[in-house]
């Protein structure tokens, strides 16, 4: 079969697509560009309404073009009827069942039966072959699901209760990836801070176990929520002290207003989040801070929104993922009275502009600085993409194939310019 795999959404979703591509290849099928494919595997995300609509259109269009379609990821778990309404012949793989893709593709050649596989427990997420989107970067999913219930969130409904993967399986998976040449390891899940709360090993201990793996690699710890970090904060700060761990904190606040956080059913107030950030900044003076903010959640007053603007000006995050609130099916907030979309647009534009000017300010302030950087991959245009110890992106254009420097190696650079997406560095040693 000629198969094309497309994927949407988070790093965990990307990792599932990598696993499915390898499974398809290992069953003797060929991976081809979309236009040449007989079979489209569409690995879905359901967090945002706009993405949902794009994906549903694609599922319908592929069916009309006579292509066989396999829909996997989060949407089958929460919007199966919507999928089958667009394409009643679509084959379905639940979010825990990516390892069964080979079985589904094999069946397409021989049977007319529509396949639908939903496993209750996640299967085959560690220690399995991968076709990585970037051969230098290994995405390791630590767990499936979440034990909290934020009012706007459809992910926990799609992925279910928290199931942390076994620490020894995670360590073996990463050891294998390092032996295959990966130099950057992304740890991902719905909330890494919750790791192990259903097991005996919590995140700080897991990080130490991973850092004990020999080899030149760096660890990027993905998103953690204030309420799941606080109980492990002291040990987490110690674990982050390891030279292998990027000093990057991705801590979604979602809102800087306690009124809105309460309506969102977020298990923290803004001071909790601020405490976590202050503690990390006390320990790591060049910490990079990423956060997520939802604009226009039902009940957000102008005063609440202004607190958000004040917060970004005070805490100066390096990156803010801004989302305009859209009601998601099956969530608690789906029935809440929506805010006028013109107000939402005005607020998200204003927040975006505030964040961009802060980002540019912090960037320009770093021009002229010197950093030891870790080369993580080839750059898109020229040279290599490297990262400082706090995950700041530095492109080194002069670093060509004959420079003797390659992914996994480190060098000292001086920053001579900043672009919206990355810094430009020159090698000094
Ligand atoms: S912490 Fe909240 S937003 Fe994150 S997955 Fe859980 S319920 Fe969803």
How buried is 420 (Cβ within 10 angstroms: 0-12 exposed, 13-18 middle, 19+ buried)? exposed
DSSP 332: G
Q: What is the pLDDT of residue 404?
A: 85
Q: What is the pLDDT of residue 7?
A: 98
Q: What is the pLDDT of residue 180?
A: 96
Instruction: Tell me, in angstroms, the distance from the centre of ligand 1 to residue 5's CA.
Output: 27
DSSP 134: S
Q: What is the pLDDT of residue 71?
A: 98
The CATH topology of domain 370-427 is OB fold (Dihydrolipoamide Acetyltransferase, E2P) (2.40.50)
Please give the sequence-ordered ranges of beta strands (E in DSSP) within 39-179, or none if there are none.
Answer: 39-44, 68-73, 91-93, 116-117, 137-141, 143-144, 163-164
CATH class, range 137-366: alpha beta
Instruction: Tell me, in angstroms, the distance from the centre of ligand 1 to residue 272's CA.
Output: 17
Q: What is the pLDDT of residue 380?
A: 78
Place of tokens 């919007």: 79
Please give the sequence-ordered ranges of beta strands (E in DSSP) within 88-229, or none if there are none.
Answer: 91-93, 116-117, 137-141, 143-144, 163-164, 184-188, 218-221
Instruction: Tell me, in angstroms, the distance from the centre of ligand 1 to residue 156's CA.
Output: 6
Q: What is the pLDDT of residue 94?
A: 97
Mutate to test the pocket of ligand 1, among 191, 227, 251, 297 (most ligand atoms within 8 A of CB): 191
**Residue of the nearest CA to atom 2 in ligand 1?**
150
DSSP 245: B
C-alpha to C-alpha distance for 242 and 254, rounded to whole angstroms: 29
C-alpha to C-alpha distance for 218 and 55, rounded to whole angstroms: 34
Q: Going by DSSP bridges, is the β-strand pair 163-164/143-144 parallel, antiparallel, or unpaired?
A: antiparallel
pLDDT digits (tens, 9 = 90+) for 312-331: 999 999 999 999 999 999 99
Ligand 1 atom nearest to 266, measured from its CA: 2
Instruction: Tell me, in angstroms, the distance from the centre of ligand 1 to residue 327's CA.
Output: 15
Q: CA angle, corner 225, sides to 351 and 148, nearest 5?
A: 115
Instruction: Tell me, in angstroms, the distance from the centre of ligand 1 to residue 224's CA.
Output: 10
Ligand 1 atom nearest to 152, measured from its CA: 3
Q: Which residues contact 190 (CB under 8 A, 6 or more apart)?
A: 12, 143, 144, 145, 146, 155, 156, 159, 162
Place of tokens 């420079």: 403
* 128, 19 Cβ separation under 8 angstroms: yes
Q: What is the pLDDT of residue 241?
A: 98
150 C-beta closer than 6 A to ligand 1? yes
Q: What is the pLDDT of residue 403?
A: 82
Ligand 1 atom nearest to 149, measured from its CA: 7
Q: What is the pLDDT of residue 100?
A: 96
Instruction: Tell me, in angstroms, the distance from the centre of ligand 1 to residue 328's CA.
Output: 13
Q: What is the pLDDT of residue 307?
A: 98
**Residue of the nearest CA to atom 4 in ligand 1?**
190
Residues of the chain with pLDDT under 50: none
156 C-beta closer than 6 A to ligand 1? yes
**Residue of the nearest CA to atom 8 in ligand 1?**
153
The model scores a pTM over 0.75: yes
The residues spanned by each domain of the chain are 2-117, 137-366, 370-427
* 162, 194 Cβ separation under 8 angstroms: yes
Mutate to test the pocket of ligand 1, among 225, 226, 272 (most ligand atoms within 8 A of CB): 225
Which two three-digit tokens encode residue 17? 């697509």
Please give the sequence-ordered ranges of beta strands (E in DSSP) within 198-328, or none if there are none.
Answer: 218-221, 248-250, 288-295, 319-324
Instruction: Tell me, in angstroms, the distance from the centre of ligand 1 to residue 414's CA.
Output: 40
Mutate to test the pocket of ligand 1, among 156, 264, 267, 297 (most ligand atoms within 8 A of CB): 156
Q: What is the pLDDT of residue 400?
A: 82
Homologous superfamily of domain range 2-117: Methylthiotransferase, N-terminal domain (3.40.50.12160)
40 C-beta closer than 6 A to ligand 1? no
């Amino acid at each position: 079969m000629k198969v094309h795999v497309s994927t949407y959404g988070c790093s965990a979703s990307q990792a599932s697509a990598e696993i499915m591509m390898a499974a398809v290849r290992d069953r003797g099928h060929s991976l081809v560009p979309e236009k040449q494919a007989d079979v489209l595997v569409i690995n879905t995300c359901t967090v945002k309404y706009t993405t949902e609509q794009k994906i549903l259109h694609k599922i319908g269009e592929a069916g009309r073009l006579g292509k066989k379609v396999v829909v996997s990821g989060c949407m089958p778990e929460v919007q199966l009827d919507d999928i089958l309404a667009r394409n009643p012949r679509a084959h379905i793989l639940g979010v825990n069942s990516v390892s069964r893709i080979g079985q589904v593709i094999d069946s397409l050649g021989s049977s007319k039966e529509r396949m639908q596989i939903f496993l209750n427990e996640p299967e085959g997420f560690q220690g399995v072959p991968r076709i990585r989107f970037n051969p230098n970067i290994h995405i390791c999913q630590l767990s499936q699901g979440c034990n909290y219930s934020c009012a706007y969130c459809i992910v926990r409904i799609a992925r279910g209760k928290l199931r942390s993967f076994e620490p020894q399986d995670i360590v073996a998976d990463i050891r294998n990836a390092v032996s295959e040449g990966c130099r950057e390891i992304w740890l991902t899940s719905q909330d890494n801070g919750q790791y192990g709360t259903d097991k005996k090993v919590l995140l700080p201990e897991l990080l130490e176990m991973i850092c004990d793996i020999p080899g030149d690699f760096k660890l990027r710890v993905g998103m953690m929520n204030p309420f799941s970090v606080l109980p492990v904060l002291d040990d987490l700060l110690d674990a982050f002290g390891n030279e292998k761990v990027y000093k990057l904190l991705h801590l979604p606040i979602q809102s800087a207003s306690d009124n809105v956080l309460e309506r969102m059913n977020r298990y923290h107030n803004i001071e909790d989040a601020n405490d976590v950030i202050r503690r990390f900044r006390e320990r790591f003076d060049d910490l990079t801070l990423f956060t997520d903010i939802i604009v226009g959640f039902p009940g957000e007053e102008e005063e609440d929104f202004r607190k958000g603007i004040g917060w970004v000006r005070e805490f100066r995050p390096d990156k803010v993922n801004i989302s305009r609130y859209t009601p998601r099916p099956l969530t608690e907030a789906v029935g809440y009275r929506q805010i006028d979309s013109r107000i939402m647009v005005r607020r998200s534009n204003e927040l975006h502009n505030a964040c961009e000017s802060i980002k540019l300010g912090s960037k320009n302030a770093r021009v002229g600085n010197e950093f030891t950087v870790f080369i993580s991959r080839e750059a898109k245009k020229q040279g290599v993409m490297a990262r400082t110890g706090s995950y700041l992106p530095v492109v080194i254009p002069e670093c060509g194939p004959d420079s003797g420097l390659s992914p996994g190696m480190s060098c000292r650079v001086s920053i001579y310019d900043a672009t919206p997406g990355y810094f430009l560095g020159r090698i000094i040693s």
